[in-house]
Structure 1
Amino acid sequence: MVRPQAGRARLSPLGLALLVITSVGWGLNFPIMKHLLTEWPPLSSRGLCGIVGAVALALIALARRQKLGVPRQMWLRLLLVSLLTIGGWVAFMGLALLWLAASEAAVLGISIPVWVALLAWPILGEKLSLLRAVSLAVALAGIAVLIGGNGIDASLAKLPGLLCALAGAVCVALGTVLTKHFPLAMPPLSLAAWQIGIGCLPIAVVGLLVEHPRLAALSSLGWASMAYMTLIQFCLCYVCWFAVLERLPAATASIGTLLVPVVGVVAAAAMLQEPLGLREVAALVLTLGGVTVALRS
């Protein structure tokens, strides 16, 4: 009786549906973020949305009777991991979009599993196998095609965005590896609320002090974009993601998130009229190929 139940859990239609919702929601966020930058600065918009989202997640956790208390001995690792996985991603990816197209940021962002595989070597002692080395090379080839396809001058103009996007991906990867090394034993929604809140608070504070955003600058579409980032990206997608992890194997869920850059690239072309040609498709295929190998190795 146990094995059939496990098989059904792996093939759970609800789990697969929630995985699609999560991936589509996160993928659509790239062009939405890119548009929002025309009205509001990156650190303020992403930081403030994250704080509101964290509060909403905390309320959802309480409604599901998950404890929000953090064990004293876990505070330091929680702060470190939150600042890396959330703070680093929110700040660097927001800044990257000042130079990069939404489709380019989406492709660079999905390279996270490759950096996880690379960083797990010195930190966790996981050997860098041939497959993992190949995955890194393939993913880097995709990045080279994406950034270098428009000539040297265009590539140099995008270099700050490239470095920011890669820094954000590496921060998430490092936080992920450290979480494996120092597990955070908390209920999932409570942990997400704390991580998003801790990670976004300093970003929001710096944004308010440096960028001086004005509410009057937001149009109705800008407010809708802020609402999407808060309610969909930080709330709905995280709730669905943890529900996915309860119903599907972690490897299946991780591979399923490869839909994120596909949605991001296609949505950017449809919503922002960004180019979707051979260069973008080749970069997407190469990067996805490298990530797939990294996830399977």
Structure 2
Amino acid sequence: MPTPTPPHARLIGFICLGVTATGWAMNWPIIKILLRDWPPLFARGVAGTAAGIILAGIAIGYGEKLRVPRHAIPRLLFASFTNVFAWMGFATVALKMLSIGEGALLVYTMPIWATLFAWPILGHRPGLRDVIALVLGIAGIVVLMGEHGFALTQDKLLGIALTMGSATLFALGSVLMRSPLPVAPIALAAWQVGLGCFPMVILGLIFEKPDIAALTPTGWSALIYMTLGPMGICYLTWFATLRRLPPSTAAMGTLVVPILGVIGAAVVLGEPLGLREVTAMALTLGGVTLALRKSSAT
């Protein structure tokens, strides 16, 4: 029988969860600000590569070993692709074509697709709750994208495809990588963030040809925040959360990320936040909540 978590530890866990969710949420409008100066792959790649180096230093400071067993390297590379390159890279490129409300909600449909992938891969047949979750998620997407009667531009369609690719690849990775990698948590985050983001820098230099000197003081502030906040401090507080709260509670807590991100975008960038956006959030996150409750029970 598991030892109950002391009340003060649970309180610290919820505080860490709040810091994590807020930091990740505010990253959405911050990315938009940085994209005014630098192209998406290069911008996200530089922030992530720097964060990976910082996390590696923190891991060493905590006494964690960075060595990865040879047999785990292919799984680490796969996780870096699905959890970082696709999840962060595709979504960041999509923000050139979508609003934050559209991008964040589409990306956070990931748990719904994970329940669907679990059927053919793990043999977990979808039940009534899964069907309802899928219907709610699709309904939220329909409401979100139906503003102009689905007269979507080519850029908008590409943005939708990229965010859905981000969500589904992350979902596929989460289903295929159910057994943990034999690497300490902070060291694992350092490897995944670094391996997932450094190729973005290379691809950005080749195809986006960024003007390195174009970064304004506001852009520098955004870059520093992305590096130290969502990819640095928030990873540490996330691991602190998981040590003190059940994974299902932590996962449910992340549902505030797209909500706070959309609100932050409305306040900071003046993006729309009306009945359509609120309805889409309620439907989509309702479906995600059902999917998370199912996954935590299996």
Identify the TM-score tier after normalising by the shorter chain: over 0.9
Question: Which of residues 120, 123, 139 in structure 1 aligns to 2:121?
Answer: 123
Q: Aligned residue for 2:165?
A: 167
Q: Is the 8 A contact 2:5 2:244 kept in 1?
A: no
What SS does the aligned partner of 1:153 have? coil
1:62–1:68 CA contact under 8 A, matched in 2: yes
Q: In 1, are the aligned partners of 2:106 and 2:141 still within 8 Å (CA)?
A: yes
Find out whether 1:234 has 2:224 as its counterpart.
no
> Which position in structure 1 is the counterpart of 2:107?
109
Structure 2 vs 1, CA of residues 62 and 7 (structure 1 numbering), >3 Å: closer, same or farther?
closer
Q: Corresponding residue for 1:14?
A: 12
Whether the 8 Å contact between 2:68 and 2:182 is mirrored in structure 1 is no
Query: Match for residue 136 of structure 1?
Result: 134
Structure 1 Cα separation of the partners of residues 9 and 54 of structure 2: 30
Output the CA distance in 1 between the equivalents of 2:241 and 2:230: 15
Query: Partner residue of 2:279?
Result: 282
- Within 5 Å, give how 1:64-79 maps onto structure 2: 64-79=62-77
Query: Per the alignment, do residues 119 and 56 of structure 1 end up closer, same or farther by CA in structure 2, a change over 3 Å counting?
Result: same
| Matches of 1:135 and 1:152, distance apart in 2 | 23
* Paired residues for 1:37-48 under 5 Å: 37-48=35-46
Q: Who is 1:33 aligned against?
A: 31
Listed one character per residue, the Cα deviations across residues 113-157 of structure 1 (whole Å, up to 9, x for unaligned) are 111111111112222121112111111110111111233324665
Q: Which consecutive unaligned segments of at least 5 residues does structure 1 have?
A: none
Equivalent pair of 1:148/1:155 in contact (CA under 8 Å): no
Per-residue CA deviation, residues 195-248 of structure 1 (Å, 9 max, x unaligned), is: 111111211110111111122211100001111111101101111101100000
- RMSD over aligned CA atoms reads 1.6
Q: Match of 1:12, SS?
A: helix
Return the alpha-carbon distance in structure 2 between the equivalents of residues 41 and 245 of structure 1.
34
TM-score by length of 1: 0.95
Return structure 1 stretches of 4+ with deviation > 4 angstroms: 154-157
User: 1:231 and 1:157 mapped to 2: Cα distance?
Assistant: 31
Question: 1:278: Cα distance to partner?
Answer: 0.4
